[in-house]
């Protein structure tokens, strides 16, 4: 049965008398199982009343037949965990998890299994009365499994029964950021509520947002709430986010940051945001030249506080952290474990000063095929490292970012696996 066909059908009592018309269908979300129809909402004499599923004798005819002529005429009130298909889903946008985009539900399919009705599919193709004809034929419905989607119900008590991650936990932070940028205020609020259950994922998502969206969404939070998010972000991204806040909010947010993160952010805010100093990450894996290859590999494996993009190389330093050389992880893996770092390192590494323009850094990376570039001061003391993803984010033109994404592969939805593990990234890394 399709919901669009069911709505406004007459509801007939056991004695054959029409008691009202169908106004909505109520389901209960059940995690991995299909939502279960638990009742109907009927409009009877100007008021909406509840009809339990057990009272419905026949749903798939031209009229909806009740097993009894008796109807409880008390006004319907939604209970915790209940979802109204017409009010909450039909005509509203849902998240297409496979394609990581917001699509609209134009119809809903209900199917009887054993003695119960369940919600099984959504139609996300605009019907012909809105879309028009294509090559002389009406556009065909696009019925897809309910498990391909994540609903945005907009009802707090219903959201709680869906669990902390549901199907959104299968999306990458960049996908979630794209969804937030396309979402309206209500939709973005619900997506953020879900993401907020995993603070590390929340920080990753905010790192991926465009500056305008990031500032808008952070601006709706208190200073303490902003600091909680920025405290888990990479220090360079946190510094950019604070610079984009209104002047009156910057200092309160800085004061609310954890001490270690605040020190890093203040250091980075002292540089031009579009310079090497403004882009660099402050945490660098550096070791003295007398360390062995085996020790360097072990240190890289244990450096969980460093962002993975900055762990492509180990920097050899001398007194006062003066840069003496660099060796990539691939070179370490292929070297004798007992060899010293100063024996296998490049003793004349490419480097940049903190005031170097990002375009010049991009040229260095291109010319020398580098994934990272160390940033040093006038005395060659290492200050930080720039990663290629940060450079690309800065130099790619804005209009390129707004291009239509490449088409996704054909839909393939697997049954959800075990609940996703929280991100294993320490705060401020």
* pLDDT score at 159: 52
In CATH, the architecture of 286-398 is Roll (3.10)
At which residue do the structure tokens 């979630």 appear?
176
d(C-alpha 314, C-alpha 297), whole Å: 9
CATH 1.25.60.10 fits 163-270, yes or no: yes
* pLDDT score at 385: 95
* pLDDT score at 131: 47
Region(s) of the chain under CATH 3.10.580.10: 286-398
Contact 302, 351 (CB under 8 A): no
Region(s) of the chain under CATH 2.30.30.240: 3-148
Q: Backbone dihedral region of 422: left (phi > 0), alpha (psi from -120 to 50 degrees) or beta?
A: beta
Q: How many CB atoms lie within 10 A of CB 143?
A: 15
d(C-alpha 291, C-alpha 343), whole Å: 10
* pLDDT score at 128: 67
Per-residue three-class SS string for the chain:
CEHHHHCCCEEECCCCCEEEEEEEEEEEEECCEEEEEEEEEEEECCEEEEEEHHHEEECCCCCEEECCCCCCCCECCCCCCEEEHHHHHCCCEEEECCCCEEEECCEEEEEEECCEEEEEEEECCCCHHHHCEECCEECCCCEEEHHHEEECCCCHHHHHHHCCCHHHHHCCHHHHHHHHHHCCHHHHHHHHHHHCCCHHHHHHHHHHCCHHHHHHHHHCCCHHHHHHHHCCCCHHHHHHHHHHCCHHHHHHHHHHCCHHHHHHHHHHHCCCCCEHHHHCECCCCEEECCCEHHHHHHHHHHCCCCCHHHHHEEEEECHHHEEEEEEEHHHHHHCCCCCEHHHHCECCCCCECCCCEHHHHHHHHHHHCCCEEEEECCCCEEEEEEEHHHHHHHHCCHHHHCCCCCCCCCCCCCCCCCCCCCCCCCCCC
Region(s) of the chain under CATH 1.25.60.10: 163-270
Residue 27 has which token pair? Answer: 């389901």
| CATH class for the region spanning 3-148 | mainly beta
Q: What is the largest CA-CA distance in the chain?
A: 95
The CA distances from residue 137 to 52, 132, 238, in Å, are 40, 9, 53
d(C-alpha 95, C-alpha 61), whole Å: 32
* pLDDT score at 158: 52
* pLDDT score at 403: 57
* pLDDT score at 314: 96
For the whole model, what pTM was predicted?
A: 0.78
> Taking Cα atoms as reference points, which of 68, 56, 52 lies closest to residue 9?
56
Q: Mind listing the pLDDT tens digit of every residue in the chain (429 residues)? A: 999 999 989 998 877 888 899 999 999 988 788 999 999 999 998 899 999 999 888 887 788 988 887 888 888 888 887 899 999 999 999 999 988 999 999 999 999 988 899 999 999 988 765 444 444 455 577 899 999 998 887 655 555 555 544 577 778 999 999 999 999 998 999 899 888 888 999 999 999 999 999 999 999 999 999 999 999 999 999 999 999 999 999 999 999 999 999 999 999 999 998 899 999 999 899 999 999 999 999 999 999 888 888 889 999 999 999 999 999 999 999 999 999 999 999 999 999 999 999 999 999 999 999 999 999 999 999 999 999 988 988 888 766 655 555 555 554 444 444 444 444 444 454
């Amino acid at each position: 049965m399709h919901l669009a066909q069911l709505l406004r059908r007459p509801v007939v009592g056991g004695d054959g008398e029409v008691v009202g018309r169908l106004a909505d269908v109520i389901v209960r979300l059940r995690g991995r199982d299909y939502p279960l129809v638990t009742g109907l909402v009927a409009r009877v004499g100007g008021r909406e009343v509840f009809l339990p599923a057990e009272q419905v004798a026949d749903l798939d005819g031209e009229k909806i037949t009740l097993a009894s002529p008796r109807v409880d005429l008390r006004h319907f009130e939604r209970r915790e965990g209940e979802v109204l298909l017409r009010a909450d889903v039909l005509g509203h946008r849902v998240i297409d998890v496979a394609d990581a985009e917001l699509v609209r539900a134009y119809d809903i399919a209900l199917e009887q299994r054993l003695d119960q009705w369940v919600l099984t599919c959504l139609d996300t193709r605009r019907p012909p009365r809105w879309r028009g004809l294509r090559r002389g034929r009406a556009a065909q419905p696009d019925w897809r499994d309910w498990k391909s989607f994540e609903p945005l119900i907009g009802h707090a008590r219903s959201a709680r029964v869906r669990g902390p991650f549901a199907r959104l936990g299968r999306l990458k932070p960049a996908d979630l950021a794209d969804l937030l940028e396309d979402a309206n205020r209500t939709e973005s609020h619900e997506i953020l509520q879900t993401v907020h259950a995993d603070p590390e994922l929340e920080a990753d998502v905010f790192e991926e947002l465009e500056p305008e969206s990031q500032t808008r969404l952070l601006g709706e939070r208190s200073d303490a709430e902003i600091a909680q998010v920025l405290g888990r972000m990479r220090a360079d991204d946190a510094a950019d986010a604070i610079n984009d806040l209104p002047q009156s909010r910057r200092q309160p947010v800085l004061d609310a940051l954890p001490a270690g993160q605040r020190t890093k952010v203040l250091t980075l805010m002292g540089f031009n945001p579009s310079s090497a100093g403004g882009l660099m990450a402050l945490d660098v894996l550096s070791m003295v030249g007398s360390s062995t290859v085996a020790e360097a590999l072990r240190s890289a494996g244990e450096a969980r506080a460093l962002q993975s993009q900055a762990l492509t190389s180990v920097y050899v330093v001398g007194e006062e952290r003066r840069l003496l050389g660099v060796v990539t992880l691939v070179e370490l893996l292929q070297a004798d474990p007992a060899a010293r770092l100063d024996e296998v390192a490049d003793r004349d590494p490419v480097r940049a000063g903190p005031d170097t323009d990002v375009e010049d850094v991009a040229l260095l990376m291109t010319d020398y095929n580098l994934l990272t570039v160390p940033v040093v001061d006038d005395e060659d003391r290492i200050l930080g490292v720039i990663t290629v993803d940060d450079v690309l984010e800065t130099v790619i033109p804005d209009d390129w970012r707004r291009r239509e994404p490449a088409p996704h592969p054909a839909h393939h939805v697997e049954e959800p696996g075990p609940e996703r593990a929280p991100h294993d990234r320490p705060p401020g890394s």
